[in-house]
């Protein structure tokens, strides 16, 4: 179905189609490697977020709310941090420290953050990398809204003029560079 759609609109977009197909192929290869690594780690009995391969799209970890994502972005940026370091690094207007503490507890419960207790002080460390969360979130969006096809995602972005042919060419160059 997507191929017929592209054939109808292909005259000036043949280059775009090739780039989209290359992107989809590259993504499918990387996902196969990710799934294989996930199965290996699961066999080793790993339990924390990224190491166990927990997935945002139904593999045990619920997706983050906007507030949780905002706190996670700060934790990823800092690498690890105390509650007040995280609060001070939040975008202005920063939420109250009790709000951030509650969100951090939720992130611990969801398996995104671990707590290192230093006496009465807690240092928070990310368990799921930003890259792993981004990958799983994007996969979830593609699965939920674009029938699991990254070709459809890119096609949508081109149709909505959010992605130009020049952008696609840059992505293709990046893919070719990464293949080497």
**pLDDT (0 to 100) of residue 74:** 96
Tell me whether residue 73 is exposed, middle or buried, using C-beta atoms within 10 angstroms of its C-beta: 0 to 12, 13 to 18, 19 or more: middle
Range of the domain at 154: 129-159
- Cα separation of 150 and 23, whole Å? 8
Is residue 3 included in any domain, yes or no? no
Is residue 24 included in any domain, yes or no? no
**pLDDT (0 to 100) of residue 46:** 46
Same domain assignment for residues 77 and 124: yes
Same domain assignment for residues 94 and 124: yes
pLDDT-flagged residues of the chain (< 50):
6, 11-17, 19-30, 46-58, 60
**pLDDT (0 to 100) of residue 152:** 87
For residue 121, give the CATH number of its domain: 1.10.10.10
Same domain assignment for residues 103 and 144: no
Question: Which structure tokens are listed for 28?
Answer: 């499918």
């Amino acid at each position: 179905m997507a191929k017929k759609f592209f054939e109808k609109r292909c005259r000036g977009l043949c280059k775009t189609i090739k780039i989209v197909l290359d992107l989809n192929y590259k993504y499918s290869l990387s996902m196969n490697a990710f799934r294989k690594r996930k199965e290996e780690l699961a066999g080793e009995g790993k339990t924390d977020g990224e190491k166990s391969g927990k997935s945002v799209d139904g593999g045990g970890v619920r997706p983050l709310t906007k507030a949780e994502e905002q706190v996670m972005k700060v934790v990823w940026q800092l690498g690890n941090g105390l509650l007040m370091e995280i609060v001070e690094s939040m975008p202005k207007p920063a939420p109250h420290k009790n709000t951030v503490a509650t969100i951090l507890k939720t992130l611990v419960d969801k398996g995104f953050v671990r707590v290192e207790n230093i006496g009465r002080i807690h240092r928070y460390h990310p368990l799921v990398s930003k890259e792993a969360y981004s990958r799983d979130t994007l996969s979830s969006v593609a699965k939920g809204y674009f029938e699991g096809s990254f070709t459809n995602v890119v096609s949508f972005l081109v149709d909505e003029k959010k992605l130009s042919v020049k952008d696609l060419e840059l992505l293709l160059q990046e893919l070719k560079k990464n293949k080497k």
